Amino acid sequence: MSILDGILGQVTQNVDVANLAAKVGLSPEHVEQAVQALAKFHPMDVDTAEGAAASTGLPVDKLQEIIGHIGGEGSLGHFANLLKGDGAGILGQLGGLFGGKQ
């Protein structure tokens, strides 16, 4: 199980990268890219799906489908907070383990 699967499991039940990829018709690698881009663009003052589409090259409709499967914008916001790299989220905490800034 990847770190991303663990975080998705905290946000919504019965969703993992492979399962989500099968549901939306993308590869697991594309879904990982999409979810990370969605988390990045969620707190920004832009349309989340459009920003992630521009970043990943994936279609907006697929990104909106992923948002729906993980529980909508509210769950995406929670997921984005868990992923933060600023020390508050999982990535920030992991960075501290490997000598990164906290």
Supply the pLDDT for residue 80: 76
Task: Give the alpha-carbon dihedral of 10, 11, 14, 17, to 10 degrees.
Answer: -90
Q: Which residue has the tokens 């914008």?
A: 73
Is residue 89 a contact partner of residue 81, using CB atoms and an 8 Å limit? yes
Q: Is 97 exposed, middle or buried (0-12, 13-18, 19+ CB in 10 A)?
A: exposed
Q: Which residue has the tokens 């019965």?
A: 14
Residue 57 has pLDDT above 70, yes or no: yes
Supply the pLDDT for residue 40: 86
pLDDT averaged over the chain? 75
Distance CA(37)–CA(45), nearest Å, equals: 14
Residue 26 has pLDDT above 50, yes or no: yes
Residue 1, number of CB atoms within 10 A of its CB:
10
- State percent of the chain over pLDDT 90: 30
pLDDT digits (tens, 9 = 90+) for 74-90: 777 777 777 665 444 44
Q: Which residue has the tokens 């600023």?
A: 86
